[in-house]
Structure 1
Amino acid sequence: MKILCGVAAVFAAQMATASERPLARPDFDAQVVQAALVVGPAPSHLAVVRSKRPVVREAAPATAPRVELAASNSEFSGWIKSFRPRALSKGISGATYDRAFQGVRYDADVIKRDRNQSEFTKTLWDYLDTAASDARIANGKKAVAKHRATLDRIEAKYGVDKEVVAAIWGLESAYGTFTGSKDLIGSLATLAYDARRTEFFEQQLIAALQILRAGDVAPRNMTGSWAGAMGHTQFIPTSYLEYAVDFTGDGKRDIWGSDPTDALASTANYLAKFGWVKGQPWGVEVRVPSGFDYAMAKRDVLKSPAQWGALGFTDIKGNAIPNHGKASILLPAGAKGAAFMIFKNFEVIERYNTADAYVIGVGHLSDRIKGKPAIQSPWPRGDRALKFAERKEMQRLLTAKGFDTKKIDGRIGPLTIEAVRGFQRSVGLVPDGYASLDILKRLR
């Protein structure tokens, strides 16, 4: 199982800031990005998209929400007491536990956000418009200039490009301007008490208590997103315990304070630990040669840039691509959009967040901060993202026609992409695996 960081919770807020996590990220679906191609082993974070149709109902008594919340708080207090022995069995002292939960109450807003995080769908290009907006690029350049000495030292120690670290910082918290203000113990306890993902959030809650036990932060200063991601680069507690570092040497791994040094170094350490290759790009925008067999655009089809070059691939300017190591071809919008030759560092960024859109966002933003040009190829901007019900319908129709997707779960992953390719071949279309509205209409 991949250990992820925290890009999802702050992500919804980031989107609002023109720009928003390391988190074992259950919540990137806070702002679902329907990238056309999810090529890695990464699961797609596409949950139920609820109907927006109005529902006629009786008006509830004005006191109903208060009664419901009061009942929740009463039961929640009982849950806190029942969870205490489990925490103490993990080495948390009673004093630490009681101090951590002092004043903590059930947070209905956290549950509301958790339930509604999949209401929105965005195409990859809409996401990139925000992820690498002019404002975020300009702010990224300013942030690198302001913290250059620190970032240079971090890059020298961990071998991770300073601009990549800055790009993650930019996507996760808009360069520290939105790190989240939720009381982390309260958020995690509320989510652990809720039945939807109890095991995961109980694990995060124990980890958060272990952080408090270590003395790195005071309980009420441990703030973050509603989903439990913390600090400038939005680590979840388990990722913090394993990868956060004290780069300032003050005896604390402080990812919350006004000084972002420990957070930036922790992010670089995280990427380095997962195999960052110094000097290797995340990916390169490429020209797809005519006659290309689109079935080769898979993560498990790896070739050297020279081998891809022999098939006709060049960079966007028509030049040969240097030998950065084995690479695969990524077509996030099928044959109608930009194409990328992606390297191992793509996979490393993916450990931070498994969504292709996020990885491309980090990579492209880092390139723009370095002064490189925008993505040159057009996107199919006339297309819209498929809704959850439409994705499930597509899977049902594909399976019924003999192109088995194995699951009807609304997630456009490798199996569904292969099924789409099979259908495309059967009707004489380019087999790029792009799960578009046009394909759904043809299936219908």
Structure 2
Amino acid sequence: MVHRFLLLLSVAFFFAPLAHAQSSLVAQPLPPEQFAACVKGLAGHTGSAGRPLKRDDFLRIASTAKYDDRVRQSMLVQTGEPTFWWDDIAATTDEQRVAEGREVLAREAELLAKIEQRFGVPREIVVGIYGIETNYGPAAGRIPVLDAAVSLACLRPCSPGAATCGSRERAYAAVRLLRDNKVKPESFVGSWAAAFGRTQFVPDSYEQLAVDMDGDGLADVIGSLPDALASAANHLRRRGGWIAGAPVYIEVKVPAGQQREFTPTGKSIRLTDRAMKVSEWAAMGWQAVGAGGASLPLQAAGDPVVVPFLPVGLPGPAFLVSRNFNTIFRYNNSDRYVMEVAVLANKLAGGPGIVTPWPTDDPGLSRAEVKELQAWLMQRGHALVTADGVMGRNTRDAIEAERARKGLPAGRRVGQRTMRLLMQ
């Protein structure tokens, strides 16, 4: 234990200067001269790029990039606006998204059957990713990917002497896609993290994993739904290895005598060192949760190895998750994202989603309810609010003001109960 502590301490000190440098970069917008110097600095490392890239090619294309401060602002929002599990799951797996996903399943049944047969990934999971990433297409982002990738590389610089550097490789890959005419500049737009297309691929992942499913000679994750869905399935198959037939999660009841180790810690609990087969957990008294909360025998096809995962500890929903959880995590490294995709897929397949109540008396809102709230805020004179169903910064600012007017405790959140109190 002492050795491990000293190792962690040395790692913390090693990365402390870099973390400080990054935080200072994010504190203010990058001045034009600093951004230009960063582009030149990136050009000096093209010789170590993961794939061939000439310095002159990089400068020719990257010099057209513009610093986009939305990247920095989004990095700040990630750390500055914490949200609850019950808010995110309620909004991302609401009835509207389930209904629209089932329409995609029906409309693209033949295509999805081919993808499922070729890659071994269930169609509901593929459509779940499509739904969570871009709401089935229209929400792919508006930031030029080249601008986002280069801005991100400058705001998140690599540690000196690093063998690999994700942010730098992403910028290099964005340049190569433009150099090789893999994408059209006018449609090469996406998120602040430089993810683009219907299923949100970052440029370096696109280079490695994109698939030409429609056979036109180009893996087009922007304009081709077959290519986008197949590319997502290929990502799951090749990165982490999808286990065909295994569930991502099984909702479970933890035996009373084993609940002590799952008390809330403020963080998600995923015990990766407790990997056992489903049958072994069943032998220890763990049970599955059925619709309505009924206890069912714990079992799964193929008896996969699973580990406990509790998003908020007990009391609260508890799960046993398979390697497929880790595989989706590699698509987007967030436990919450994995569960959003998996719960949506469960509902698309006719399942109940998460059955066990969250430990709150103020559950989250659906997007329809958020829109209702936003319309009310607009009537109250909050001109910056838009009724789009997204709980963004302007909506939270307005909520904060209205809670103060109403005499409610200070906060920037509204759930089912507080929405009624606010609007009554």
> Same fold by TM (over 0.5)?
yes
Alpha-carbon separation, structure 2, partners of 1:345 and 1:295: 24
Alpha-carbon separation, structure 1, partners of 2:35 and 2:275: 51
The 3 A distance-change label for structure 1 pair 221 and 85 is: farther
1:73 Cα deviation after fit: 2.4
Which residue of 336, 348, 351 corresponds with 2:327? 348
Which residue of 259, 262, 266 corresponds with 2:227? 262
Cα pair 1:215 1:252 within 8 Å, conserved: no
Which residue of structure 1 lines up, in the alignment, with residue 368 of structure 2?
Answer: none
Aligned residue pairs, count: 318
For 1:105-124, list aligned pairs within 5 A.
105-124=66-85
TM-score by length of structure 2 reads 0.68
The 3 A distance-change label for structure 1 pair 81 and 290 is: closer
The 3 A distance-change label for structure 1 pair 311 and 383 is: farther
Say which SS state the counterpart of residue 253 (structure 1) adopts. coil
**Per-residue CA shift, 1:268-304, capped at 9, x if unaligned?**
0111112111111111111222222543872221222
Cα pair 2:58 2:172 within 8 Å, conserved: no
Which residue of structure 2 lines up, in the alignment, with residue 330 of structure 1?
Answer: 309
Task: Please say if 1:315 is aligned against 2:288.
Answer: yes
Which residue of structure 1 lines up, in the alignment, with residue 173 of structure 2?
Answer: 207
Alpha-carbon separation, structure 1, partners of 2:156 and 2:125: 37
Which residue of 256, 261, 267 corresponds with 1:295? 261
The 3 A distance-change label for structure 1 pair 99 and 381 is: same
Task: Please say if 1:277 is aligned against 2:256.
Answer: no
| Structure of greater relative contact order (alpha carbons < 8 Å, 6+ residues apart) | 1
For 1:165-184, list aligned pairs within 5 A.
165-184=126-145
**Per-residue CA shift, 1:144-193, capped at 9, x if unaligned?**
22222111111110000010011111111111111112111111112223
Alpha-carbon separation, structure 1, partners of 2:56 and 2:104: 40
Which residue of structure 2 lines up, in the alignment, with residue 186 of structure 1?
Answer: 147
Say which SS state the counterpart of residue 125 (structure 1) adopts. helix
Alpha-carbon separation, structure 2, partners of 1:293 and 1:113: 38
Deviates more, 1:173-182 or 1:210-219: 210-219
Alpha-carbon separation, structure 1, partners of 2:192 and 2:76: 12
The 3 A distance-change label for structure 1 pair 77 and 354 is: closer
Alpha-carbon separation, structure 2, partners of 1:282 and 1:293: 22
**Per-residue CA shift, 1:197-244, capped at 9, x if unaligned?**
684322211111222233211234321111211111111122111111
For 1:14-413, list aligned pairs within 5 A.
72-84=31-43, 86-87=45-46, 90=49, 91-92=52-53, 96-97=57-58, 100-101=61-62, 103-194=64-155, 199-257=165-223, 259-273=224-238, 274-295=240-261, 298-316=271-289, 317-323=294-300, 324-382=303-361
Alpha-carbon separation, structure 1, partners of 2:156 and 2:319: 40
**Per-residue CA shift, 1:337-365, capped at 9, x if unaligned?**
11112222112112222322221111111
Alpha-carbon separation, structure 2, partners of 1:269 and 1:291: 42
**Per-residue CA shift, 1:315-340, capped at 9, x if unaligned?**
21322232431222222222211111
Alpha-carbon separation, structure 2, partners of 1:133 and 1:292: 33
Say which SS state the counterpart of residue 245 (structure 1) adopts. coil
Equivalent position amino acid for 1:181 in 2: R
| Aligned sequence identity (%) | 32
1:81 Cα deviation after fit: 4.4
Say which SS state the counterpart of residue 212 (structure 2) adopts. coil
1:94 Cα deviation after fit: 6.9
Say which SS state the counterpart of residue 328 (structure 1) adopts. strand
Say which SS state the counterpart of residue 286 (structure 1) adopts. strand
Cα pair 2:259 2:314 within 8 Å, conserved: no
Say which SS state the counterpart of residue 104 (structure 1) adopts. coil
Structure 1, unaligned runs of 5 or more: 1-46, 49-67, 385-444
Cα pair 2:275 2:307 within 8 Å, conserved: yes
The 3 A distance-change label for structure 1 pair 89 and 302 is: closer
**Per-residue CA shift, 1:98-118, capped at 9, x if unaligned?**
663464322223222223331
Cα pair 2:157 2:167 within 8 Å, conserved: no
**Per-residue CA shift, 1:422-443, capped at 9, x if unaligned?**
xxxxxxxxxxxxxxxxxxxxxx
Say which SS state the counterpart of residue 256 (structure 1) adopts. coil
The 3 A distance-change label for structure 1 pair 86 and 111 is: same
TM-score by length of structure 1 reads 0.65
The 3 A distance-change label for structure 1 pair 197 and 288 is: same
Alpha-carbon separation, structure 2, partners of 1:321 and 1:129: 26
The 3 A distance-change label for structure 1 pair 112 and 342 is: closer
Cα pair 2:62 2:150 within 8 Å, conserved: no
Say which SS state the counterpart of residue 299 (structure 1) adopts. coil
Equivalent position amino acid for 1:379 in 2: W
Computed over aligned residues only, the root mean square deviation of the Cα atoms, in angstroms, reads 2.8
Structure 2, unaligned runs of 5 or more: 1-18, 21-27, 160-164, 263-269, 364-424
Say which SS state the counterpart of residue 278 (structure 1) adopts. coil
Alpha-carbon separation, structure 2, partners of 1:189 and 1:355: 23
